[in-house]
Amino acid sequence: MKKIRKVITTILAALTLVFAGLPVSAQSVDSGAGGAGSITISNASKGQTYTVYKLFDATQSSDGIAYSVPSGKTFTGNDFFTVDNAGNVLAKDGINVGSDDFKTWAQEFGTEVASTKATDQTLAFTGLTYGYYYITSSLGTTLTVNSTNPSATVIDKNTTNPDIPEDGGKKIVVNGTVTSETTAKIGDVIDYQILFNATNFVTTAGGASTKQITKYTIVDTPSDLEINQSTVAVTVGGVTVAATPTFADGKMTIVLPWADADGNTIYDSPVAVKVTYKATVKAAAQDGEASNHADITYTTSDGDEEPVPDPDPDPDPVVKTFQFTLKKTDGTKALTGATFRLYDAASNGNEIAVVKNADGTYRVAEAGETGVDIEAGTAVVKGLKGDNTVYHLEETKAPNGYNILTARKAVTISSTATNEVEVVNNAGKALPSTGSFGTTMFYLAGSVLLVGALVYMISKRRMNNI
């Protein structure tokens, strides 16, 4: 009996915690067993189901607790307990009541006493008879083993701390699929999401201590992107919640309260939190990419702020832009004096307006900017979508002495640093002279007469010489 008393004392010392600052209100469930004991879970995860199993009966005195096999149960001992000749249940040295083997045996051998879904962060099972109990939750692992003595307060030692799941954190969304990289042109609108798993408490390994989480904070820092503020939406467990982002110093900040003014947790736990919004690619992305970064932190009731851990952090998501070089030639040598406009189709379609940079290159225009002709010779056009996107150049002016193109020239932008397109003009040829029909016939007749007169004169001169 001293051994099991020692084990119980150790468990209580390691796992029992009266949580400071918890609200006085709590969810209470009467087990219906008619006893005077209770087990209170001080950091219950709202939305999870907790089940209490009774393993052994107990009697209590000022000297200690004695345990016995419940009536109707057959138990002679196992890897964790022995039963002496007097029927006392004794703990073996060094047992691990948190092992999977113990969990399997306890759920098979124990008698379910009560089960309920937590609606508050403090859950009390009352009306329990004295005994040795095992508690599980729908999170899937052992909560703890404890005794009512006559009442015990325990913590949920399931490690359900906030985390970032696979494909979570900051991501780009393309056609419903998350990715860390895509390509777009200046002015395109990109879908983003931030995803993480939130919990109501943060618990140390093994459940030695726990802290209540009072809020989560998301700080999003875009680079060469402009967030469309009206598109920001936040869901908790798939349900849209009220959240007002603030924008300052180029950052978006969202604060999600996780406990009310009385200290009661607001949401179930664990639960997925998702932030979505749209952002426009800005002109500064013309030289290669626009990036984005999100920091996710939680604050506990004692004021500590910690990052939500990411077990496999990905690089910040990027939107890449590409460029092409336009070369105007006659097939052999470079030409100057041509001008072009850029379109998204071989005919009709939409013009892709461009503006000229200070260094003489061109970039795709932002909304509200007035486009200009692309002047070539040689010209570089930046800020375009890669991934083999096809654009089309329309010649609006040909070099002097050359024919203007009658059809647009296709430009394929691959996802490489450079792309080139050569546009060839053919030199123009002089057209025949034009005049009236009568004049032409006059010139033709005169020529014939002149030739005839020459032939006659030559023939006569030869005859006189004979």
Q: Has residue 386 been placed in a domain? A: yes
Same domain, yes or no, for 315 and 339? no
Same domain, yes or no, for 390 and 337? yes
pLDDT at 14: 31
Q: What angle do CA 377, 380, 385 make, to 5 degrees?
A: 140
Same domain, yes or no, for 352 and 404? yes
Same domain, yes or no, for 412 and 281? no
Domain boundary among 259, 292, 319: 319
Q: What angle do CA 171, 175, 179 make, to 5 degrees?
A: 25
User: What is the count of structural domains for the chain?
Assistant: 4
pLDDT at 8: 40
Q: Has residue 430 been placed in a domain? A: no
Same domain, yes or no, for 95 and 20? yes
Same domain, yes or no, for 308 and 180? yes
CA dist 275 and 257 (Å) reads 15
Domain that holds residue 74: 2-154
Q: Has residue 164 been placed in a domain? A: no
Helix/strand number for the chain, H first, E second: 3, 35
Domain boundary among 268, 298, 319: 319
pLDDT at 19: 28
Q: Has residue 163 been placed in a domain? A: no
Alpha helices of 119-217 — where are they, by DSSP H? none
Q: 191: domain CATH number?
A: 2.60.40.740
Q: Which of 77, 278, 42 is nearest to 156 (CA)?
A: 42
Domain boundary among 154, 177, 202: 154
Under 8 Å between Cβ of 43 and 201: yes
Q: Which of 447, 380, 395 is nearest to 425 (CA)?
A: 395
Same domain, yes or no, for 315 and 327? no
Number of Cβ within 10 Å of residue 164's Cβ equals 22
Q: Has residue 277 been placed in a domain? A: yes
Q: Tell me how far CA of residue 359 lies from CA of 172, 355, 366, 370, 380, in angstroms.
A: 32, 12, 18, 18, 10
DSSP helix/strand/coil, 445:
helix
Q: 361: domain CATH number?
A: 2.60.40.10
| Residues in the chain where the model's pLDDT stays below 50 | 1-24, 142-144
The tens digit of pLDDT for each residue in 48-97 reads 899 999 999 988 777 778 899 999 999 999 999 999 999 999 999 988 88
pLDDT at 23: 40
Number of Cβ within 10 Å of residue 99's Cβ equals 13
pLDDT at 463: 62
CA dist 271 and 259 (Å) reads 14
Q: Has residue 233 been placed in a domain? A: yes
Q: Has residue 375 been placed in a domain? A: yes
Same domain, yes or no, for 97 and 21? yes
pLDDT at 262: 87
Same domain, yes or no, for 128 and 145? yes
Q: Has residue 125 been placed in a domain? A: yes
Same domain, yes or no, for 373 and 238? no
Query: Is-cis flag, bond preceding 432, omega within 30?
Result: no
Same domain, yes or no, for 201 and 293? yes
User: Per the structure block, which two tokens stand in for 203?
Assistant: 């618990």
pLDDT at 181: 96
Same domain, yes or no, for 139 and 205? no
Residue holding tokens 């969202």?
254
